[in-house]
Amino acid sequence: MPGEEQLLRDAYSYFANWDSDKDKFAALLADDVQWSEKDSEIGHGEFKGKAAVMAHLQTIKDALAGVQFVSLERQGSFWRTTDEMTMQGHEHHHDCVTDVVFDGGLITKVRHCFGGGGSH
């Protein structure tokens, strides 16, 4: 079984190839996953459960022109990722910082774009 670091790298790959790999992305999520969206341009709010999170991810994917993975590091009991997003019709988003918590090999909590994430 791949480690959490590889699973996060896979998640970025699956997101990049969303149309063909969204089921693979969904397989990384716990049924009761909680997603806290901090970027108001892509639907600030709380999303609970795999179906709600996957619907929100579709909204994000529809709003993005592209996303570039930047970094990934362990922060104690969670992982911190950084990426740069380009929104359709908007400026570049720099350093979207996201915290991800795993439990039993599945993603259980995500705090998305709480750092950076604004148009610059």
- Coil, strand or helix at 98: strand
Task: Please name which of 60, 77, 76, 69 lies closest in space to residue 97, comparing C-alpha atoms.
Answer: 69
In which band, very low, low, confident or very high, does the pLDDT at 3 lie, cut at 50, 70 and 90? very high
> Where is pLDDT greater, at 73 or 68?
73
Domain boundaries, the chain: 4-115
> Alpha-carbon distance 9 to 31, whole Å?
20
In which band, very low, low, confident or very high, does the pLDDT at 120 lie, cut at 50, 70 and 90? very low
> Where is pLDDT greater, at 44 or 58?
58
- Tell me the pLDDT tens digit for each residue of 8-32: 999 999 999 999 999 999 999 999 9
Once rounded to an integer, what is the mean pLDDT over residues 64-80?
92
Q: Does domain 4-115 have CATH number 3.10.450.50?
A: yes
Average pLDDT of the chain, as a whole number? 89
Q: Is residue 47 over pLDDT 90?
A: yes
Return the half-sphere exposure (C-beta side, CA atoms, 13 A cut-off) of residue 9.
8
Q: Is residue 117 over pLDDT 80?
A: no
